[in-house]
Amino acid sequence: MEYFKIFDMTREPFSNSPEPEFCYQSPQHLGCLQQLELAIRLRRGLNVVMGNVGTGKTTLCRELILRFMETEDDRCEIETHLLLDPSFSTTREFLSMVALTFGIAVGEGESDWQIRENIKSRLFHKGVDEKRTVVLIIDEGQKLPSFCLEILREFLNYETNENKLLQIVIFAQKEFREILKDHMNFADRVNQYYLLEPLSFRETQAMIRFRLTRAGRSAGAPLFTISGLWAIYRATGGYPRRIITLCHQILLTLIIQNKPRAGWLLVRSLSRRRTPGLNRRERWSTAWPVALLLLVFFAYLFSMPPWSSVIPYPLNPPATPARSDEAAPGQMKGHPPTTEQLVLAKQVAPLHPAQPVLSVKGGPDLKVPDNLGRLRIPTGGSVIQILRDIYGKDGTDRFQSIIAANPHIEDINRVRTGESITLPAVPATAAPWPQDGKLVRIANKGSLDEAYSFYKKHPLPKHNPVSIRIMPYWNPREGMVYALVIRTFFYNEEEARNAIRSLPPALAATAKIMEKPGADTVYFAN
């Protein structure tokens, strides 16, 4: 019997494998992912993520790759390639590995120059002819020899008049900063830096509870007391890898000692015996009375609502720290960041003009609207999430249209909770309704704000076989419609009615099979 079943869980909660579904996205990890995703979509070139051992770089690397595999559009438009251990001894070895990664055969008699030319031709074919974005992700970047950095610099010179043909993301430990100082011609090409720090006490709690919930642990008696959680934080320093290792050991100890939960003394005793590499001051510099006072302070602090929601998109960024809770002076262009001072290295301007307003013939009353409406950023929300909720995707064209439609936002990197943004009416690339399919409409709302509020207030349980989506559309007879529909299409009425019966009673009462709009309908969601 697996040990986790003793705690009423279906999976191991603290496995040391980088399982994507167990990836806890703290505010800084989520911010880093969003910045990298947008930089890749805008083809900005080189991006660097640094952090100490155990801060979650490898997990973040895997999560970034998975983000570009979620939709069919992304799988067709973006291809990612991963180099795990760049400890190369010769230039040819590195060039050959990159070529093979890109699907290019390397002959024994080919020179290094020929391999470079083959790589260049492949990148031009992918980026120009096929309109694809090629991404090279390098983990353990601190192992890159100097000649590899020079080759990567050459790759970054492969570009069109609009963008780079190869997008490079390097995940490395902090010593990579010193390597950059010795290669300023490479550091000068970095679009953005991001420094991963250990988790805070609040984030440590959230990570542990998140993993327990994902493993199937239902809400009930907690496995860790508050003092036990504080002890875990002090023992691990907030490093995710250490947290996972220690929590795994704690669960095994609870079974052996037949205890229902872990408190301060158990964690302290266990970490002293089983957690090597941590000095005494790092573990227990705060005595028990001081820890108790800090817990009271944290409880008061965490009860206060957040003042804003920071959305770190690297579009027109000012010289601000990568983390919203740090303040640092500006950094000179081309210089790698210091430990205390980490900033975005370059200004990024929008690449395309605003989307045109569409119209149909027949008079002023028959015009397609130029925007869907305005939404306020909810607490904990983000622009990228709103794009996915409304449009069904978040491609580069959506980002550009959002920027053009919101000139009042001076810095899209820092959007406060409650600030309004305009959602432009960008037509879908393809009709989201199959020819013979049927949709179930749950409700129609009179505005985008009403539709989005309904969508957020009615999340279906995870075990429910259906889910809800917003489907905004326009036609000359109905005007602008904000429909809430079941995401799945059905090919006969019986399937549709079964789906209605699976809804909660309040939603099932208003749900009905939807008549397909006419051919002159313009859809705004894929």
Fold of 439-523: Alpha-Beta Plaits (3.30.70)
What pLDDT score does 58 carry?
86
Using one digit for the tens of pLDDT, what is the confidence trace for 314-329?
Answer: 333 333 334 434 433 3
User: Which class does domain 3-11+199-278 fall in?
Assistant: mainly alpha
Interhelix angle 383-391/27-41, rounded to 10 degrees, is 60
Task: Give 167: exposed, middle or buried? Use CB within 10 Å, 0-12, 13-18, 19+.
Answer: buried
Using one digit for the tens of pLDDT, what is the confidence trace for 49-94?
Answer: 999 998 888 888 888 888 888 788 888 899 999 998 888 999 999 9
The neighbour count for residue 150, using CB atoms within 10 Å, is 13
Using one digit for the tens of pLDDT, what is the confidence trace for 445-460?
Answer: 889 989 998 888 877 6
Task: Give 315: exposed, middle or buried? Use CB within 10 Å, 0-12, 13-18, 19+.
Answer: buried
Q: Where are the domains of the chain?
A: 3-11+199-278, 27-196, 364-424, 439-523
For residue 121, how far is the Cα from the chain centroid? 31
Using one digit for the tens of pLDDT, what is the confidence trace for 259-301?
Answer: 888 888 889 888 887 545 444 444 444 445 445 555 655 555 5
pTM: 0.58
CA distance 29 to 213: 19
Of the pLDDT bands very low, low, confident and very high (cuts 50, 70, 90), residue 258 is confident
Does the pLDDT of residue 493 top 70, yes or no? Answer: yes
Whether CATH 3.40.50.300 fits 27-196: yes
Q: What is the CATH number of domain 364-424?
A: 3.10.350.10
What pLDDT score does 72 carry?
82
